[in-house]
Structure 1
Amino acid sequence: MKIRFVLISILLACSAASAAPRTMRLDYYHTGNDHQETFSVDRIVIEPLPWPGDLSKAIDDTNMGAYLFEVRSQSDNRLLYSRGFSSIFSEWVTTDEAKNASRTFSESLRFPVPDQPVRIVLKEREQGEFHDVWTTTVDPKNKFIDSSLPPSPGPLLTIQKNGEPPTKVDLLIMGDGYTAAERSKFEKDARRFADILFSRTPFREHRQQFNVWGLCPAAPESGVSRPSPGIHRRNPLGTTYDTFDTERYILTTENRALRDYASYAPYEFIEILVNDRTYGGGGIFNLYASVAADNQWSPYVFVHEFGHHIAGLADEYFTSDVAYLPPTKKIEPWEPNVTALLDPTNLKWRDLVTAGTPIPTPWKKEEFEASEHQFQTQRHDLRAQNRPESDMEALFAKEKQQEDSLLAHDQYSDRVGAFEGANYAPKGYYRPQENCIMFTRYDAFCAVCSRAIEKVIAMYSD
């Protein structure tokens, strides 16, 4: 009865979408290492709700993501739907582990239920261009397509509704590691982070173009897994710290569970609130983002990671430890906010460059690097000594004060140019402005990042 009530309430929230097709989801396995990969179908399901998107904006022309999938008519090869995305595999394959071991990840493709047999074509970006890597067929009349209801995550929380799902960007905030008794805490956290997001440009100016929903399957224990100090939990969404052995990186590889629970809300984008204080989060383009809800710096992490998720923004920092290996060949990144500057005359944000700004653009790079390396050493020491999280929060406050002081009054601080140091590399990659929330714990997106976000908002809203 509870599942039935939840489903009815959600369908009422999406009543105007009753003429829309249902949502089909192809779950598949992605297996491989740094030199080979294979794909295999897990299952095909019909989700409980109608397709949340605008059918007139079915084709993705942004050329973003590590992968692109297409839904094509089997009879005439007509393109019906496409979306670019990235995945955990696309990150893991750049780590040292992928040199010597293979892993399997569950992944999903969501699209409107077709009215005819279709081919699903998966393309992978290689040397900057998409190439076909897997094709499978789907007949919507196949008797093995599963239309049963998945386990209920509990009641749907409407945080803000500004229109019907096909006309708005639908953001789903999910809680993980919240017990049933902590439901009210999740609701407060979800509303708080929605307000945080819409306090920042360009989200502030486009708040009316968003719907925000909340779902929180109850956890048997409070909190999530943190393998470094030996903490393990069986939380519903499976989020965990220490992804790729990076203590602050929070992801889940429990894709099936995530997608089944999320299917009870209309969504294009997902943000997972982790019921923990320890600093951390993660964000992958068109997959999901995550943040530890109770840290002093969670507002920054939330917005930064959502930038990865919604607009494919790259990390612009280069002094923090990451698990990724540097590329063997330098090519132009697909991400909109970093460049290899292989052709300075065709800089991809050239139209935003302030007149008279030199390319590359000078900045206090050596002074910044020296300061950051000192803070990174202190950060490692605090974790090694298992110091209270308040000590780490205080260190980050000192670091931000130093960064803001150093970067605020440089010659080209407020200009768009090409500043060396980005994409985890101190040399060879460039970011658009000296400071940005994708570079430090700065409070704002740069002009290039803001434009990239607005482009995606326009894809999903009226």
Structure 2
Amino acid sequence: MKRLAAIFSIVLILQAFATNSCLAQDIILKIIDNGDDNARFVCVLLAEGYTAEESKKFTDDYTRIVNHIFSTSPWKEYKSFINFYTLYRPSKQSGADHPSQNVYVDTAFDATFDSYGVSRLLTVNDSKAFDAAAQIPSFDAVFVLVNDSVYGGSAGSTIVFSCTEAAGDIALHEAGHFIGHLADEYETAYFADPDITRVPNITRQTAIEAIPWKKWIDPEIPLPTPETITDRIGLFEGAGYSAVGIYRPKHTCKMRTLSAPYCEICAEAIIRSLYTVVRPVDTWGPLEPEITVIDQPLMLWIEPIPVNDGTFDVTWEVDGEIIDNNGRLNYRVNPAALSQGTHIIRIWFKDTTPMVRGEADGLLTFQHAWQLHRTECSGDIAGTILQDDSSTGVANAKVEAVPSSAIAYTDENGWFQFNNLPCGTYTLIVNAPHFDKSEKEVAVTEDGGGMVNIFLHTKRPPYNITGTIWGRVPDGVTLHVYGTVSSTMHIRGSKNFNVSSLASGNYIIMPEAAGYIFFPAYQRVTIKDASPQRIRFFAIKKLF
């Protein structure tokens, strides 16, 4: 769902222009902001069954629930992986439907108990929920908080839970289903013969090698495991809506009992799911994949997402050989230690949390490589930045030598210089206040670089054409502008006009109004160094 179309990316959205009258009342808040939505797991919490008068109650309710979620492992450890939004859309009535009691209310997302004949199975109209959530960029999970005191919840396409005292734990349980792909571990026979082939926390297998969580089971644990062992991972009978034949990993877990914490298997599944969306390293540098070095040291680095009480392992490798870098997140490259030619420097960053055992698929590992070209061929580039109309030097102009990261600024005479640039072709990009950007290509060879002069054109401000239309035209005048910039404007209630933001060049200005002729019919205007003087037209009503 992360790549569903996003409409807005601001924190508070008041959609007064929305075509849907419901959307016009939506209030969206980003209550947890850990960075770019495209680099985080994005949750959206919708208000359901809260009237316009209950906005404060919604705020109080979601604050209590969200605080509970992020005080619970593994959410508290990996909170920095998550961005969280709330969306408040007032409902006409409070609560949810209770068909078995013949109670029906008018709410934003059609919440109802008694779904599929199960009294506590609380669902919503997923289509409406997704339409609302699509206002949030890159959402991954939709939570729906239902303003009803009766216990209920579900986790199909959305995570739905009612606002009871246990709402936080219901949310965690249902999020376990949706985000961790976890099965129910209780025995109540709501559904028969569940499909358990792709869930990480229940199984019919009893042979150790076939148990999905075998890496968590210590050798001395008997299989199946007696209920007297309450604090170890094993194979406990009773799960997946059946008291016999289906097994769970631990004596108790939030997927079996709301008040319990997640067991190790379920916590691991949630962490791994977060990692399918979130990369553990936010950024690295330099960003260029290929870098040429001569004799100046170069610092390579990464910036991982912080994990609460997290542990990690960092490995650096130069040309396939691991180097001792004391686990640092940066590495200083000494060009003198490299032979001439191409070298690959690679980093592996691995989350070594004890909450995940084994990582054969490398899901919790990030790797990045830089290609370094070591050369002794270098040269200098120097020159002057000049005004094109006077050949006067331009001071404090910024000169970039692309594709390198070298930057120079001109002195008071317009002089700049780059020293020891590796051999190659560079584009000098020049920016200076009050001048247009300019570019020039320069080559550095074994014979050195070169001297260059780069001329800048003075920026010209946008120009205006102003004027007056004499004569009363009740329905207004349409003014056509043809030229370097063409436009049409309608003048009504005023005889004066102002055509703005024009570039220099030649223009034709032509007024038009039904039932009128104008004198002159049009005017030619040339803009060069300044806005022209006011022009005028006379409107004359046609006699026939």
Q: Which residue of 2 aligns with 1:162?
A: 34
Secondary structure, aligned partner of 2:47? strand
Residues of 1 paired with 2:30 and 2:213: CA distance? 37
Describe how 1:345-424 pairs up with structure 2 within 5 A: 345-363=209-227, 410=228, 412-424=229-241
Q: Which residue of 1 aligns with 2:385?
A: none
Deviations, residues 167-218 of structure 1 (Å, cap 9, x unaligned): 1111111110000111121122122211111111111111111111000211
- Greater fraction strand: 2
Residues of 1 paired with 2:69 and 2:181: CA distance? 17
Secondary structure, aligned partner of 2:266? helix
Describe how 1:78-97 pairs up with structure 2 within 5 A: none
In 2, are the aligned partners of 1:332 and 1:342 still within 8 Å (CA)? no
Secondary structure, aligned partner of 1:456? helix
**1:308 aligned residue (167, 177, 202):** 177
Q: Which residue of 2 aligns with 1:48?
A: 7
Q: Which residue of 2 aligns with 1:183?
A: 55
Change (3 A) 1:353 1:302: same
Residues of 2 paired with 1:264 and 1:149: CA distance? 13
Q: Segments of 4+ in structure 1 off by > 6 A? A: none
AA in 2 matched with 1:325: A
Residues of 2 paired with 1:259 and 1:441: CA distance? 27
Residues of 2 paired with 1:325 and 1:332: CA distance? 12
Q: Shift in Å at residue 308 of structure 1?
A: 0.8
In 2, are the aligned partners of 1:290 and 1:302 still within 8 Å (CA)? yes
Structure exhibiting the larger radius of gyration computed from Cα positions: 2
Residues of 2 paired with 1:297 and 1:442: CA distance? 8
1:326 equivalent in alignment to 2:196: no
Q: Shift in Å at residue 260 of structure 1?
A: 1.2
Secondary structure, aligned partner of 1:277? coil
Residues of 2 paired with 1:435 and 1:273: CA distance? 26
Q: Shift in Å at residue 263 of structure 1?
A: 1.1
Secondary structure, aligned partner of 1:311? coil
Q: Shift in Å at residue 343 of structure 1?
A: 4.1
1:264 equivalent in alignment to 2:223: no
Q: Which residue of 2 aligns with 1:58?
A: none
In 2, are the aligned partners of 1:332 and 1:341 still within 8 Å (CA)? no
Change (3 A) 1:23 1:209: closer
Residues of 2 paired with 1:212 and 1:440: CA distance? 26
Q: Which residue of 2 aligns with 1:7?
A: none
In 1, are the aligned partners of 2:206 and 2:223 still within 8 Å (CA)? no
Deviations, residues 41-76 of structure 1 (Å, cap 9, x unaligned): xxxxx55248xxxxxxxxxxxxxxxxxxxxxxxxxx
Secondary structure, aligned partner of 2:258? coil
Residues of 1 paired with 2:89 and 2:255: CA distance? 31
Secondary structure, aligned partner of 1:228? helix
Q: Which residue of 1 aligns with 2:66?
A: 194
Q: Shift in Å at residue 157 of structure 1?
A: 1.4
Q: Shift in Å at residue 159 of structure 1?
A: 1.3
Residues of 2 paired with 1:354 and 1:185: CA distance? 48
Change (3 A) 1:332 1:300: closer
Residues of 2 paired with 1:437 and 1:206: CA distance? 18
Residues of 1 paired with 2:196 and 2:105: CA distance? 40
Describe how 1:83-162 pairs up with structure 2 within 5 A: 151-152=22-23, 154-162=26-34
Residues of 2 paired with 1:313 and 1:334: CA distance? 9
1:452 equivalent in alignment to 2:241: no
AA in 2 matched with 1:289: I
Secondary structure, aligned partner of 1:156? strand
Change (3 A) 1:347 1:325: closer
Q: CA RMSD in A?
A: 2.0
AA in 2 matched with 1:457: L
Describe how 1:159-238 pairs up with structure 2 within 5 A: 159-238=31-110
Residues of 2 paired with 1:441 and 1:205: CA distance? 20
Residues of 2 paired with 1:23 and 1:211: CA distance? 15
AA in 1 matched with 2:232: R
Q: Which residue of 1 aligns with 2:278?
A: 461
In 1, are the aligned partners of 2:65 and 2:168 still within 8 Å (CA)? yes
In 2, are the aligned partners of 1:175 and 1:215 still within 8 Å (CA)? yes
**1:242 aligned residue (111, 114, 133):** 114
**1:428 aligned residue (229, 245, 267):** 245
**1:337 aligned residue (190, 201, 205):** 201
Residues of 2 paired with 1:333 and 1:196: CA distance? 31
AA in 1 matched with 2:214: R
Q: Which residue of 1 aligns with 2:303?
A: none
Residues of 2 paired with 1:256 and 1:450: CA distance? 29
With normalisation by structure 1, the TM-score equals: 0.55
1:291 equivalent in alignment to 2:161: yes
In 2, are the aligned partners of 1:225 and 1:241 still within 8 Å (CA)? yes
AA in 2 matched with 1:334: R
Q: What are the ranges of 5 or more consecutive residues in structure 2 without an aligned counterpart? A: 10-17, 280-544
Q: Shift in Å at residue 297 of structure 1?
A: 2.2
Q: Shift in Å at residue 362 of structure 1?
A: 1.5
Secondary structure, aligned partner of 2:179? helix
In 1, are the aligned partners of 2:126 and 2:158 still within 8 Å (CA)? no
Q: Which residue of 2 aligns with 1:392?
A: none
Change (3 A) 1:358 1:204: same
Residues of 1 paired with 2:115 and 2:206: CA distance? 32
Deviations, residues 78-123 of structure 1 (Å, cap 9, x unaligned): xxxxxxxxxxxxxxxxxxxxxxxxxxxxxxxxxxxxxxxxxxxxxx
In 2, are the aligned partners of 1:250 and 1:290 still within 8 Å (CA)? yes
Residues of 1 paired with 2:3 and 2:175: CA distance? 24
Deviations, residues 305-341 of structure 1 (Å, cap 9, x unaligned): 11111111100000x351x2236xxx75211101111
Secondary structure, aligned partner of 1:170? strand
Q: Shift in Å at residue 248 of structure 1?
A: 0.8
